[in-house]
Each structure stands twice: as C-alpha cells, then as structure tokens.
Structure 1
Amino acid sequence: MIGLELTAHDPFFEDLIETRVRMADFVGGLKFPHRMPMRFGKRGDSVTINNSGDAPAPIRCEFRGAATNPALKNDTTGEALKVVATIAAGDTLVIDTAYGKKNVTIERGDGTIEDATNSVDDEQSSFFSLALGSNRLSFSADTGAPVVYVNYKRLYGNG
C-alpha cells in the first residue's frame, strides 16, 4: 500500500480580479445650490473596506508620491505598519502582506526597485490583513501627501 500526503500552503480560493480602493480623495466640504467650476472639500485619509470573504484578506498598499515615514493603520483592529523611509515625487512604496510574500519595496522614479522591508518600524508594525467584516483603514506620513491605494482579493474556503 502506498500513502500520499499533500500540503496546501495557500488553501484558499480568491477573487479573480483584485479590488483597488483609492484612499486619498476629496471628501465632505461645502455644497452650494448653484453649479460652480470649483470644488471645496478636504483631502480624505481613510476608507472603510468590507471583507466579505471567508478569511482575512492580505493587502497590497501603494503610497505614490513624496512622503516621509508613511504608515497604514487598520483602525478597526488597531494593527499598523510604519515604514521609516523617504519616498520622493515619482516614487511608489509598496507594502505587500500576502501569505509567504510579506515585503516592502520602493520603486524609484527611474525604475529601480529597492527592498525596504528592513525599514519597517518593528516596534509599531505588523504585516496585517483585512479582518472579516468592516475595516476602517487610515494612512499618515510625517511629511508629504501621497496618493494611497489599497488592493486586495477576498479569500474563500475553510483553509
């Protein structure tokens, strides 16, 4: 008799298409009864994402544009990830929390890619995933106003 043992390192089905959410946009502000060619509001720095899958969903977060020490926080769970680094205009900092692929990279404006995983502030950080249900995410930076995108795929199955 022959025995066979299989191990599934990633035992979930996932969405075919990644969901992309832009965090930094204009929200609220003044409303007038007449049309005007101007927009009044404030720049938002948070978003609520509903993870309706069966398991916590890893994220890929992009900070695009100049910033110093950017950070992403899941206000719902209290988890956060801060990168002690400076990104210039034209650079993109990418935080990936995928299972077995957790890393941070900076794609410079000239196309070079730097590993910035060692720049993660270990005392204040964890490579978190979206919890099941509603997740309020916010971002911050010591300086700068980057545009931030959060990308994710819901996971399905019992794992």
Structure 2
Amino acid sequence: MKYESIELTNENNGHHVLFESFVRDTGFLLQDFDPGVAPATFKTAKGYGQDGVTKYSAPLDIRNPRFSASIIGNGLAEIESLKQELDFVMNPKDMLTLKVNYETHGTHPESKIIRGSPDQSVDYSTNYKTSNDFLQEFKGGLDCFNPFYTDPAESRIALTSWEGGLTFPFTPPFTLAHRGAPTISVFNDGHVKTPVLIIFTGPAVYPKVTNRTTGEFVAVRKELLEDETLYINTAYGEKSIEIEKNGVRRNGYNYIDQNSFLSFNLAVGDNILEYSNGRTDLTNAVEVRYRRRYLGI
C-alpha cells in the first residue's frame, strides 16, 4: 500500500493542511504515516473450576494514528508561515478530521477518514540539520475516540411507496405513477456493523423501516404532514430523534413507537430493508444514510 497524502481539517476553525508524498516546490512533505491500531479490552468471566475464561465482549479503545513530515519553504518567512498554519490545525482542544488517500495494487486512489483530537501540540525538530531556513521536520498524532475508519461520503439508500407520474405541463409519451420498490438489498462490506441515519419524509401515516436480516425496525406512531421530516440517528453516543418543520428542528422522541430499535444497524454482509406505511396511496419515502466502518486501511 502506498499513502499518497493525508489531509487534516480542524472542524472548529476550518483550517486544513495537506501532507503529500511528493512536493514539487514548497509545502508539507509526508515522510511516514502509521494508521494506528484499535486495541481491544476483553470483558470476561471465570466460573468455578473453569478452564480458561468466557468472553462476553471486546470493546475497542482509542486509536492513535501518527505521522512524521517536513515543511519545505523558500526561506525562514515561509517556513514560519506554514508552521503557523499547522499550529492552527493541530490544536488539542479541537476536533479534527483526518483523511487518508492511498493506492493498493495499482488501483485508483481510495480514501478513508477518521476523527480525533491531537494528543499534543506539534513536535518540531530542534536539530539544525532538520530545522533551518528551508526545512522543518515535525511529528504529530491524534487520539481517535471512535477507533473506526469510515468512508469519506455517506451512502444513501431511498425506499419509496410510489415514483414517477405526470407533471404539468406534459407532452407524450408520458408514464403513470407506479409503486416503488418496497424492499432493497444493501450490502455492508465494512468490517463491523454500522449505525444509520433514517429520514422519514411526509406526508406519511405510520411509516416504518425494517431490516429483515436482523429483525430490527424503526416505526413512527404519528402521521407526518407534507412539510414535516423526521430524522433518527442510531449511532452510539449520537442517538437523536428530531422533527423538522418549516426549517426548524425540535425533539421528536414522542413520534417513535416505543418498541422501535434505536440501535438499528446494518449488519456485515447482506441486509434486506423494507419500507411500509399506513397509506399506500401517498407518494412518500424513507432515506437511509450510513458510512461503512473499517478496523484498518
């Protein structure tokens, strides 16, 4: 595997820096990158007289990706300017997104991202050979509290009750509205199950989305009006249910059936998602968004 570049973006102030494996003139030269590992802490129990132990769970701990690089500049003023920009990004008090661009087996470049905070301020070299008017070496790293690498962009799956139909004015040939696909197969080729963002769009009466593979479902117990949208986030530590109307969001927990699975996930491999609602004559939809999760790059 060849790491082409890594990009760090500070989510708090918007500053970002790009470290490249090849720098033609000036900039940040990536020398080494370690994507880190996701260490596990086993939760076990030992029975009386038991050989070995019984493992109950294996929660993952913080991942610590690290890098070493050099600032290349045309004089001390440029070196100091680039250092200043790097310091704006590498603030331990802020949250960063690390994007890794790489190639495998001569394929087109691929990317993964992970979020975290710098574990310290930038460690600049003080050796005169690697810290002068034209070169400044440094090291850094992140503590990533969610240890999974993910896709840079969300995947989006739409399930509709009806689609197509006439629009006015229209000219022949035209098609009548037809029933959309009530089920769809989603393949999660990530390394672990992934949470989702479910978006119910009104008008709809008691809409429901079910993962027939896992048996989990999320059902709405109220009617959604035409100008209402319900957002359900099932990610651990980020779980939320919000109802949006006229551009304003508020708490929407009272919209959800109490038997719903708020830990709704896409299992590794095939998932069959099904959409249903109490009024099949309404043109409505549910959208499922997710990012695949990876244990490594």
Q: List alignment gaps of at least 5 residues for structure 2.
A: 1-60, 63-144, 165-171
Matching residue of 2:239: 102
- Aligned counterparts, 1:118-133, within 5 A: 118-133=254-269
Name the amino acid aligned to 1:75: R
| 2:223 corresponds to 1:56 | no
With structure 1 as the length reference, what TM-score do the two structures score? 0.79
- Aligned counterparts, 1:29-68, within 5 A: 36-38=173-175, 41-68=178-205
Matching residue of 1:148: 286
How far the C-alpha of 1:38 sits from its partner, in A, is 2.1
Matching residue of 2:250: 114
Q: Secondary structure at the match of 2:272?
A: strand
> How many Å separate the matches in 2 of 1:153 and 1:100?
16
What's the CA shift string for 1:36-94, capped at 9, x where partnerless? Answer: 53257422222111000001011111111211222110011111111222211021111
Which region of structure 1 is more displaced relative to structure 2, 141-150 or 59-68? Answer: 141-150
Aligned residue pairs total: 144
User: 1:26–1:119: structure 2 CA closer, same or farther, 3 Å change rule?
Assistant: closer
Name the amino acid aligned to 2:217: A
Q: Please, which of 3, 19, 25 is the counterpart of residue 155 of structure 2? A: 19
Name the amino acid aligned to 1:130: L
Larger RCO of the pair (alpha carbons < 8 Å, separation 6+):
1
8 Å contact kept, 1:49–1:136: yes
How far the C-alpha of 1:107 sits from its partner, in A, is 0.6
> How many Å separate the matches in 1 of 2:294 and 2:186?
17
> How many Å separate the matches in 2 of 1:101 and 1:55?
18
> How many Å separate the matches in 1 of 2:216 and 2:157?
19
Identity within the alignment, %: 30
User: 1:124–1:92: structure 2 CA closer, same or farther, 3 Å change rule?
Assistant: closer
> How many Å separate the matches in 2 of 1:62 and 1:119?
13
Displaced runs of 4 or more, over 6 A: none
Q: CA RMSD in A?
A: 2.3
Matching residue of 1:84: 221
> How many Å separate the matches in 1 of 2:196 and 2:158?
13
With structure 2 as the length reference, what TM-score do the two structures score? 0.44
